[in-house]
Structure 1
Amino acid sequence: MSIRLGIIGCGLKAASYARTWTGSADAPQIVALTDTSASSIKRYSDIVVQSGADAPKVYETAEALLAAEKDNIDAVYISTPHIYHQTYAKAALAAGLHVLLEKPMALTADEAREILTARDASGRTVVVAYQSSLSPLIDSYRQRIAAGEFGELLSVSGEVWEHWQERYVGNWKQVPELSGGGFICDTGSHLFNAVLQATSRSYTQVAANLGNRGKNYELVGGVLARLDGDIPVTLSFCGDTTQGCESALTLYFENAIVKIDIWGKWAELRQGNQTIRNAGGEADGAVLDSFIKVIGGAPNPSSAEQSLHLAELWDLAKQSSEQNSAALALTSSI
């Protein structure tokens, strides 16, 4: 199934996806683009044209694109600074379009609820582009965990680190008015989501200690949380360290230990003295393929409800840090 897409935001991530999407067997028709950067528009348009397709139309604003093209496209992919996710998602849904939305879906739980309300009113679909939610490797372990293959889940720990402070100097990601936060709000959200995806359990409680190292956004932090079933979770975040970006999520079971890269690049299973390592990585076109399947009626592996839960978790993590790491209870679930 090939779909007609509008692109709102043509930055590096969008361009990376475009190279894969335009070369796939069921390449989407990229109908229209909008971005505030002329160079980003040109790069994206060049990718489309070099694939042999017609050049997409270009609009100055998302509002203009939606008004002119809502009857000519099936969906939009939104890859803008985080602050605009809610506005553009709601506008696209109101125009009767399906939405593939970069993470985080929203910056607060209230914003997330507004997106769910707009989605329900439109009868359309929202899929949030978390790689852990769309990873075949992580999904295979999720199914094995859910089937009880490794026994009872006892504890979860995880970490994510990146030279985020150096890497994004001068970028909108380090402007809280555009990003909604710092490293933990951005890269760190993948770790929060991977816990949900691997365990199929909701967070029930969170206590956090967030540090900013003199900046006006968080760069380091520790989170103690609990999942359904009173499962303890310990998460560590560092966005101001040596070059690179890596992660690991470790799940301790009665009969095994499972380690997973939060982007689905690899997984490691230890049972007794035997260790099995699996390579994965995001399958070519996995994000778009999953989106198309959901539009066609398949279960949504990265739903708006899940992102609402993550938005509430982030709200409470910030509140907890301001309240000397007080333990706060969540009201939403996945």
Structure 2
Amino acid sequence: MKLKLGVIGCGKKSSQYIDTWSQRTDIDIVCVCDPSEGALQHVKAILSAHGRKEVHAYQDWQTLLSEQGSTLDAVYICTPHAVHANQALAALELNLDVLLEKPMVTTVDEAKALQSAQQASGKQLVVAYQGGLSPLVHQLKEDIATKRYGDLMSINAAIWEDWADTYTGHWKQVPEISGGGFMFDTGAHMMNTTSMLCSQPFASVSAKMNNHNFPVDIVTTVIGELADGMLFSMHACGKSIRCTSRIECFFTDYVVRVCAWGRWIEIEDRDGNIERKEQESANNLMNVFLQTKDGNIQNPSDIEQGLHMAKLWDAIKLSASKSGAPVAC
């Protein structure tokens, strides 16, 4: 049975997914929405190139949900961060399953509102972190719990991109819409994957940010401690080369590296031997969403994790506002 899917937001990332999903036989993209007519025409052309029928196109998401909500099974939401909560709430209230782009929300209160709506509807909300849905990341999480590589001693994570100049003038650099800068945009992948791998809850963080004359943070450094005393660090640089990341987990017997999106993992032993595994992400995102929606697996990237992330981001911002003073999570 085909999933009847509506898409809210047809920007770069969404159009890439539409290109992948329109080649599948188990998904019927029924309607799309974007305020930009150019974006709508672009995704229409993608669907047409794959032999898909004409879709209903809207420039207003409320109208899409009002007119098409009863015909849909689920929606994929890929819009500016500040509107995620309202759009996901409206979809859940229509008893639709939701695949929601990261970050889930911009505030803890929004996360709690989504939590209540999801519980009332009984539907699934999956946050579309590739790392959060990656089998490689979840296997590493299990390996940490079973001490396959020995005791986890520390985690050092970094992510970088030519983000500052690429998105000059873009909504991503408008604080009221984005909810933050590079750390909360691309860096959110690093924060989410790191938080999933940490063996204990965060106890405290100390953070500093530098905007480098942009309206939002461009460089952020975080050091912190888990409840069990393990130390970790995260660094995000939004004025560098192509988008790349590396999260290094230091064990007593191995060093394991994974990218923030869970696309690859490297396992290095004491002799310097490295085993590398890779994972395709675009179809994996939809595969995991469908399995979660159908109740075949437990939601691997749920609202609880989104709430955890919101609390972490609040602590990072608070510490940065206090010149790096430690803040309890």
> Could you tell me which residue of structure 2 aligns to residue 173 of structure 1?
172
> Could you tell me which residue of structure 1 aligns to residue 102 of structure 2?
103
- Deviation, 1:200, is 5.1
> Could you tell me which residue of structure 1 aligns to residue 121 of structure 2?
122
| Partner AA of 1:262 in structure 2 | A
Residue 39 of structure 1: SS of its match in structure 2?
A: helix
After TM superposition, the structure 1 stretch with the greater mean CA deviation from structure 2, 70-79 or 133-142, is: 133-142
Q: In 2, Cα distance between the equivalents of 1:15 and 1:230?
A: 43
Q: 1:91-123: CA deviations, max 9, x gaps?
A: 111111111000000011111111111111111
After TM superposition, the structure 1 = structure 2 runs for residues 1-334 of structure 1, keeping only pairs within 5 Å, are 1-26=1-26, 28-199=27-198, 201-241=200-240, 243-297=241-295, 298-330=297-329
Q: Structure 2: which 5+ residue stretches go unaligned?
A: none
After TM superposition, the structure 1 stretch with the greater mean CA deviation from structure 2, 162-171 or 132-141, is: 132-141
Residue 71 of structure 1: SS of its match in structure 2?
A: helix
Q: In 2, Cα distance between the equivalents of 1:55 and 1:113?
A: 37
Q: In 2, Cα distance between the equivalents of 1:66 and 1:295?
A: 19
- Deviation, 1:158, is 0.8
Q: In 2, Cα distance between the equivalents of 1:70 and 1:186?
A: 29
Q: TM-score scaled to structure 2, two decimals?
A: 0.96
RMSD: 1.4
Residue 145 of structure 1: SS of its match in structure 2?
A: helix
| Partner AA of 1:265 in structure 2 | R
Residue 140 of structure 1: SS of its match in structure 2?
A: helix
Do the aligned residues in 1 keep the contact of 2:257 with 2:267 (CA within 8 Å)?
yes
Count how many residue pairs are aligned between Structure 1 and Structure 2.
Answer: 328
Q: Structure 1: which 5+ residue stretches go unaligned?
A: none
Cα 1:25/1:57, change in 2 over 3 Å: closer
Q: TM-score scaled to structure 1, two decimals?
A: 0.94
Q: In 2, Cα distance between the equivalents of 1:282 and 1:321?
A: 36
Q: In 2, Cα distance between the equivalents of 1:284 and 1:15?
A: 11
Q: 1:120-142: CA deviations, max 9, x gaps?
A: 11111110000101122222322
Residue 204 of structure 2: SS of its match in structure 1?
A: strand
Q: In 2, Cα distance between the equivalents of 1:167 and 1:281?
A: 27
Do the aligned residues in 2 keep the contact of 1:24 with 1:285 (CA within 8 Å)?
no
Residue 106 of structure 2: SS of its match in structure 1?
A: coil
Do the aligned residues in 2 keep the contact of 1:6 with 1:76 (CA within 8 Å)?
yes
| Partner AA of 1:47 in structure 2 | I
Identity %: 37
Q: In 2, Cα distance between the equivalents of 1:201 and 1:46?
A: 47
Q: 1:50-72: CA deviations, max 9, x gaps?
A: 22221110123111111111110
Cα 1:222/1:305, change in 2 over 3 Å: same
Cα 1:328/1:281, change in 2 over 3 Å: same
| Partner AA of 1:97 in structure 2 | L
Q: Where in structure 1 do 4 or more consecutive aligned residues deviate above 4 Å?
A: none
- Deviation, 1:281, is 3.8
- Deviation, 1:235, is 1.0
Do the aligned residues in 2 keep the contact of 1:128 with 1:307 (CA within 8 Å)?
yes
Residue 184 of structure 1: SS of its match in structure 2?
A: helix
